[in-house]
Homo-oligomer: A and B are copies of this chain.
């Protein structure tokens, strides 16, 4: 995204980009595809209605107005927040490597901290006293040389933030808006982190977090860090999702072992069984931390062998400038019947249609804007059932 204008391009461009972010059916992947295909946010925004129509949408998608975007940016400025778009110079480079990196982030505190070398520490909300002590000690020790990222949740997250602030810097990634304290009892902690570190939000101001926001928050944690430490995670917990996302993004995984009789240890023990580094002290982390996520030559552990998706692949970003009209028409006819609720690889679609990736990508963009398909991790797409 290096060719995209950075934040210094000014308020006008920020307004346009935020309008695109807030437009119906434009998620992180669609935003990325649009900016890869068009010369700028202005051109992409203008093309949205026509693309959605071609994709089969009955009514035009709702596009955020200039006034709405201006109001949101003004409110953030009044709060004292910084904003950054994917492609900005200040945008954290490791997060930008996530296929579904958030196109827009609002930050209270030191934005440069987001680009510092960091480690995530996450775990159970109903953590044991021992687990919280471990998180706090580990964070305090690691914060001497790294930034500690967590999710401001009860239990392990809060202990990690507290530990980190004792000896260094911490980043809280929150699921709701920057002006919403969640959980309510962490209002003071959130303010302290904003003053000494950074609080990061993808959701618009005023958003009270609900279920769907937490997985999005988790992918930001996974994207910011070079390594993730999981302390006490039950099976099917949010911390395990964060671990899966971090692993898919090539980040190093660490887990603290715990008693087999404690359900809160089962998920973290299972991570170790699958290849995460067994972690008792800060040295266990420091000795196994890569210089760079997914660096060449790093022997990746065979984690999540049974997960449905493989390591992260960048989404198809090829422009369709060279795609001729005939190929596009063929693609528009052949692709929709191939899509079901069961996710399929984009590569697989291109192979079966014998079409160029550019043509497939162009048609998928139209279908996304029409609200007919969604793009998933691992460069896969699935049909959305008609409402």
- CA of A265 to CA of B281, assembled, Å: 13
Residue of A259, A266, A279, A280 with highest tally of chain B CB at under 10 A: A259
- How many Å from the CB of A282 to the closest CB on chain B? 11
Q: With A269-B278, A273-B278 as given contacts, are A258 and B256 in contact (CB-CB < 8 Å)?
A: no
Report A185-218 residues with CB < 8 Å from chain B CB: none
Pairwise interchain contact A130-B259, C-beta atoms closer than 8 A: yes
Across the interface, A259 reaches (CB within 8 A) one of B259, B272, B278, namely B259
- Look across to chain B and name the residue whose beta carbon is closest to the beta carbon of A138: B260
Pairwise interchain contact A260-B257, C-beta atoms closer than 8 A: yes
Q: Which residues of B contact A266 (CB under 8 A)?
A: 280
Pairwise interchain contact A134-B281, C-beta atoms closer than 8 A: no
Residue of A256, A258, A260, A265 with highest tally of chain B CB at under 10 A: A260
Across the interface, A134 reaches (CB within 8 A) one of B257, B259, B277, namely B259
Across the interface, A281 reaches (CB within 8 A) one of B256, B259, B260, B281, namely B260
The secondary-structure label for the interface of chain A is mixed
Q: With A272-B272, A278-B273 as given contacts, are A265 and B257 in contact (CB-CB < 8 Å)?
A: yes
Pairwise interchain contact A257-B269, C-beta atoms closer than 8 A: yes
| A154 interface contact, C-beta 8 A | no
- Look across to chain B and name the residue whose beta carbon is closest to the beta carbon of A279: B260
| A326 interface contact, C-beta 8 A | no
- How many Å from the CB of A281 to the closest CB on chain B? 7
| A133 interface contact, C-beta 8 A | yes
| A261 interface contact, C-beta 8 A | yes
Q: Which residues of B contact A279 (CB under 8 A)?
A: 260
Report A272-318 residues with CB < 8 Å from chain B CB: 272-273, 277-281, 284
Q: Which residues of B contact A284 (CB under 8 A)?
A: 273
- How many Å from the CB of A124 to the closest CB on chain B? 14
Q: Which residues of B contact A259 (CB under 8 A)?
A: 130, 134, 256-259
- CA of A258 to CA of B256, assembled, Å: 9
- CA of A266 to CA of B281, assembled, Å: 11
**Complex A-B: 17 CB contacts under 8 Å:** A130-B261, A134-B259, A134-B260, A134-B261, A257-B257, A257-B259, A257-B260, A257-B265, A257-B278, A258-B258, A260-B279, A266-B280, A269-B280, A272-B272, A272-B278, A273-B277, A273-B284
Q: Which 5 A-B pairs have the closest CB atoms?
A: A257-B257, A260-B280, A273-B278, A257-B269, A130-B259
Q: Given A134-B261, A273-B278, list of 14 further CB < 8 A pairs?
A: A130-B261, A133-B261, A134-B260, A257-B258, A257-B260, A257-B272, A258-B259, A259-B259, A260-B280, A269-B278, A269-B280, A272-B278, A273-B277, A273-B284
